[in-house]
Amino acid sequence: MSSNTKRGPNDPDRADRITAAALEIIAAEGIHRASHRTIAARAGVPLGSLTYYFADLRELHEAAFRLLAERLSARYRTALETAPTRDAAANVVVGLIVGDEYVDATEMHALFQMYASGNHDEGVRRLCRQWLEESRASLGLHFSPSTCRALDALVEGWPIHRVFEGGHLDRTVVDQAVRAIIAGLEDKEEQR
């Protein structure tokens, strides 16, 4: 890219600010509102700036989803790396499910947009796969592959209820479910 050029961009993190603005709009108003013009306005940059940094709108949306996936993956990874024991890790998983600490409602919305876009956009589909893989890999720091699968399903699915039914989840129930899965599957795993 810049291997045969002598100069860097005049405003180096402009691309990043555009990407961040795109994600904000996608999360708040949906991808159908995230046009060149709305994104440019939000980022406070001229229209031409977007076509300069991104070949087309798809690429820009994809960059926004990549930013989202990287943020969430990093957060999951950190949270689970920090847990010293399997029991602590179980508590982290419960937290991932019930609370806004890790993924707030806005980010959850953006995540739905990402899954929806993954249906027809190959690039976004790759991102979805990566995101799922990495979140399972983080769980893998503490649990067996099978347990990871099951816990991750819970982690993906339960927040859907949280978002649409508005209310807070019953932490006790979530806790029981998480521990039931860990108990049920880790034991089975060890028997093999």
Partner DNA sequence: TCAAGATCTGTACATTAGTACATAAATGGA
Partner DNA sequence: TCCATTTATGTACTAATGTACAGATCTTGA
Binding site for a copy of itself (CB under 8 A): 29-33, 97, 109, 112-113, 115-120, 125, 128-129, 132-133, 146, 149-150, 152-158, 160-161, 164-165, 169-170, 173-174, 176-177, 179-181, 183-185, 188
2 touching DNA, by CB under 7 A: yes
> Do 154 and 90 contact (CB within 8 A), yes or no?
no
**Cβ of residue 173: shortest distance to DNA, in angstroms?**
42
**Cβ of residue 46: shortest distance to a copy of itself, in angstroms?**
25
Q: Which residues contact 125 (CB under 8 A, 6 or more apart)?
A: 118, 119
120 touching DNA, by CB under 7 A: no
Encoded tokens for 142:
């503490």
Choose between 101 and 129: whose C-beta lies nearer to a copy of itself.
129
Site for DNA in 43-82 (CB under 7 A): 45-52, 56-58
13 touching DNA, by CB under 7 A: no
- Written as one string, the DSSP assignment of 75-107 is HHHHHHHH--SHHHHHHHHHHHHH-TTTS-HHH
The secondary element (H helix, E strand) that includes residue 175 is: helix 171-191
Select the residue interacting with DNA from 17, 30, 38, 169 (CB under 7 A): 38
Distance CA 40, CA 35 (A): 8
